Amino acid sequence: MARPVRIAIGVDLGGTTIKSLAVDETGIIAARASRSTEVHAGQEQVVRNLAATVHDLIGQLGQADVSRGAAMIQPVGVGVPGVLDVDKGLVIASPNFPGWEGFPLRERLEAQIDRPVVIENDANAAAVGEQWRGAAIGLKDFLFITIGTGVGGGVVLDGRLWRGAGGRAGEFGHVKVVAEGGEPCGCGSRGCLERYTSAAALERYVLEAPLGGGTSDLKRLAIDRPDAIDPAVIAQAAATGDEAALAAYRQFAAYMGMGIAGVIHLLDLRHFIFGGGVSEAFDLFAPRLRQEVAARIYGVAIEDIHLLKARCGNQAGSLGMAHLALAAS
Amino acid sequence: MARPVRIAIGVDLGGTTIKSLAVDETGIIAARASRSTEVHAGQEQVVRNLAATVHDLIGQLGQADVSRGAAMIQPVGVGVPGVLDVDKGLVIASPNFPGWEGFPLRERLEAQIDRPVVIENDANAAAVGEQWRGAAIGLKDFLFITIGTGVGGGVVLDGRLWRGAGGRAGEFGHVKVVAEGGEPCGCGSRGCLERYTSAAALERYVLEAPLGGGTSDLKRLAIDRPDAIDPAVIAQAAATGDEAALAAYRQFAAYMGMGIAGVIHLLDLRHFIFGGGVSEAFDLFAPRLRQEVAARIYGVAIEDIHLLKARCGNQAGSLGMAHLALAAS
C-alpha cells in the first residue's frame, strides 16, 4: 500500500476573518473553514476562534479524507499580519492587532489545539503559497508584493523564504520612499512605501486631486460622496479612461516603481508577483508601472524584468502556511 | 612536508590606479604592485597595465615566496567598478570607463597573462575582503557600503556574496531615494542614493548651503575658494563643530539612514560596514546616522543594528578578489 497522503492545516489570521485550509502535500485543498476574528473581543477569544477553525477542519477530515487513508500531520501553520518573533512565537507589532505587542500567540494556540504551531508573517506566507501553487512556481528568486489596506512583501532567495536575522524580512511596505517629512505611517515612522501605494493611498490621490477641467466622473463622485471611493471604483473608472483615476494610478506607479527599482539594484531580482486586493487591477496599472521601473534601472534591461499577477487570490497565505507546516513536520 | 601555502592575485581596477596584491590563503599579503590605469589611452592599454601589475607580482614572488615552497594559483581576480556580466566576463556599464559597454575584459586579460581571470564588481569584492580580513569577519549577513566619488555596495547573505540573477546585485548607490524630479545621476536615472550621499553630495550641501548668520568658516571658504571644499576639509570642519559641515552631514545622514532602513525592512540585515574615502569620517557621522536609522525602523530595535567602520581601507577590493580567485581555483 502506498504511503498515505499527508495533509496540513494552514491558517490566515486576518484583521476581520480567519481563513483556514486543510491542504494535501500536492497542494489540493481538502477542507475549508472560516470564522470572524473578533479582535475587539480580546486575544483569548481570537485564539479560541483560531482553534475553532482548526477543530472544524479536523472534524471535516475525520469524516472524509482520513478515512480514505490520508494522514493529518501534527504542525499547524498560522500566518499573522505584522512583525513577529518567529523563533519565540510572539507578535512584536501589528497595526491590525493593537495591544498584542509581545503576545505569545504560538504558545496559547498550542495549548488550545494540542499540536505544534508555526507562525509566519502573512505576506511571507503568501509568497510561499504563490511559489507552491501560484504565479511563482519554478522561480528561485522573487519578491511577492501584496497591496491592500497595507503593503506587505515576501522575499524568496535561492528557492527559500528569506527571513533575515530575526524573521522580520520582507516588510516591503515600510521601505522608505520619502527622506524627510513624508506621510505618517501606522508603524510610527514616515515616508513608508505603504503610505503611497496602498488602497488608502489610491483613495487619497483621488480625493486630494484638483478638480481640473471637471471632466472626471470619479472626481465628481469623490466630491459628492467621498465614502464611495474605493480601489474597485477607481479601477472601474480607470478602465473607462477617467483622468482622475489614471492620475491616481500614475502616482501609485511612480512610488511602486521606485521601490521595485531599488530592489532590482540591491538584489538583482527579476520577478515581482503582485497580490492583494489592489492587484485585482493589475492589468490596469502594470503597463504604467513597467514604464516607471524602466525609467529607474541601470545596467539591467526592462525586458528582463517580469511583473506578474498573483494567482492564489486570498488563499495564498493559508496555502503558504500549510506548506510551511509540511516543511516543519 | 606540509602542503605548500597557496597564493592568489587580486587586482583592483580603479579609474585612476590599478592596485594589485598577491595574498596567501591565510590573508597575508606577499607582494604589492600598482600602476596608473590610463583610461584615456584606451581599453587595450588598460589591459596591458593590468597584465603588467600581474607580471610584476609574479616576478616578485618568483624571487621570494615561491622559492620557499608557496604555490601560486592560476586564477587572477579583478575587481571592476560598474555593472558587469560576471558570467560572460563583460563590462556592461561603468561611469569610470566610458565607451567600455560590452568590452570583453576577462577574455582580453586572459590572452595577455595566460591565466584564467574572474571579474567582479569592485564593491562586491570589497565586501568579500572585509568579510575575509576586515570588519565583517564572522558575519553571515551584512551590507557593505562604500562611499567615495560614488556609492557602491555588496550584499552578503548566508555567508556568501549575493549576486542575484545576473550578477548585478549590491548597487546600493542606485537605490532610489527621491520618487520624482531627483538629482540626475551618471547612471541615466534620477534620485539615486549616490547623488545624496557621495563625496560630491557632501560638497554640494556645503556649496549650496545658505550663508546664514555667517558663523561657518567652512561656508566662508566655500564662497572664497569653492575648489578647496572636499570631504576631508568638511570632516575637519565638522570635528570643530562648524555649522555648515554639521548641516552637510545631517543631510547625508538622512538619506543614508533612509537607504539603510529600507534594507533593514526588506532583508532584516543587522550589520552595515562603511568603507570608501568618505567613511574615513565614520566616527563623525555615525552617531547622527544612527539616529536617522532609528527614526525609520519598525519592529526592530536600534540596539540590534550595528554600523561599523570598514577595516581593510583601499585594500578591501584586491583582498576580496584574491579570495574570490582562491575560491575559483
Strand arrangement, sheet containing A151-157: A160-161, A151-157, A142-147, A271-275, A306-309
Q: Is B274 helix (H, G, I), strand (E, B) or coil?
A: strand
**Percent of chain B, pLDDT > 70?**
96
Residue B72: which pLDDT band, with cuts at 50, 70 and 90?
confident
Across the interface, do A174 and B268 touch by the CB < 8 Å criterion? no
10-residue stretch averages of pLDDT, chain A, 329 residues long: 82 96 94 96 97 95 67 92 94 90 97 97 98 98 96 97 94 95 91 97 94 83 95 96 95 98 98 97 97 95 97 97 95
From chain B, pick out residues whose CB is under 8 angstroms from the CB of A189: 261, 295-298
Strands B271-275 and B306-309, bridge-based pairing: parallel
Which residue, among A90, A267, A305, would best test binding to B if mutated, counting the most B CBs under 10 Å from its CB? A267
**Relative orientation angle of helices A243-267 and A231-239, to the nearest 10 degrees:** 110
CB contact under 8 A, A82 and B299: yes
3-state secondary structure B121-172: EHHHHHHHHHHHHCCCCCCCCEEEEEECCCEEEEEEECCEECCCCCCCCCCH
pLDDT at A66: 61
Which residues on chain B are in Cβ contact (under 8 Å) with A168? Answer: 265, 268, 299-300
Q: Share the mean pLDDT of chain B.
A: 94
**pTM, rounded to two decimals:** 0.95
Contact indicator for B76, B106 with CB cutoff of 8 Å: no
pLDDT over 90 percentage in chain A: 88
Q: Flag if B299 and A92 touch (Cβ within 8 Å).
A: yes
Quick one: CA dihedral A186, A192, A193, A196, positive or negative? positive
**What distance in Å separates the CA atoms of residue B174 and residue B191, rounded to the nearest whole number?**
8
Please report residues of B whose CB lies closer than 8 A to that of A153: 266
| Residues B150-207: tens digit of each pLDDT | 999 999 999 999 999 989 999 999 999 999 889 999 888 999 999 999 999 999 999 9
pLDDT of residue A67: 59
Could you give the CA distance from residue B197 to residue A197 in angstroms, rounded to a whole number?
26
Q: How many CB pairs under 8 A join A and B?
A: 152
Cell of A69: 487513508
Kindly state whether B123 is in contact with chain A, defined as any CB-CB distance less than 8 angstroms: no
pLDDT, chain A, mean: 94
DSSP B199-261: HHHHHHHHHHS--TTS--HHHHHHHH-GGG--HHHHHHHHHTT-HHHHHHHHHHHHHHHHHHH
pLDDT at residue A70 in the model: 74
What is the DSSP code (8-state) at residue B180? Answer: S
Which of A165, A185, A265 is facing B269, going by the closest CB pair? A165
Taking the CA of residue A55 and the nearest CA in chain B, the distance in Å comes to 32
The ipTM of this complex is 0.94
Q: Strand B29-36 vs strand B17-24: parallel, antiparallel, or unpaired?
A: antiparallel
Distance CA B149, CA B272 (A): 19
Tens-place pLDDT, residues B245-276: 999 999 999 999 999 999 999 999 999 999 99
Q: What is the mean pLDDT of the segment spanning B112-116?
A: 96
What is the band of B79 on the pLDDT scale with cuts at 50, 70, 90? very high
Rounded Cα distance, B113 and B325, in Å: 15
* DSSP bridge pairs for A29: A23
CB–CB of A127/A161 below 8 Å?
yes
Closest CA to B60 of B31, B103, B88, B97: B31
Tell if the CB–CB gap between B270 and A165 is shorter than 8 Å: yes
Q: Is A145:A134 a contact under the CB 8 Å cutoff?
A: no
- Does the structure show a pLDDT above 90 at B120? yes
User: Which chain B residue has the Cα nearest residue A265?
Assistant: B171
Residues of A in contact with B296 (CB under 8 A): 176, 189-191
- Residue B68: predicted pLDDT: 64
Question: What is the reported pLDDT for B69?
Answer: 67
CA distance A1 to chain B (A): 41
d(CA A167, nearest CA chain B) in Å: 7
Q: Per the CB < 8 Å rule, is A155 touching B266?
A: yes
Residue A184 contacts B where some CB pair is shorter than 8 Å? no
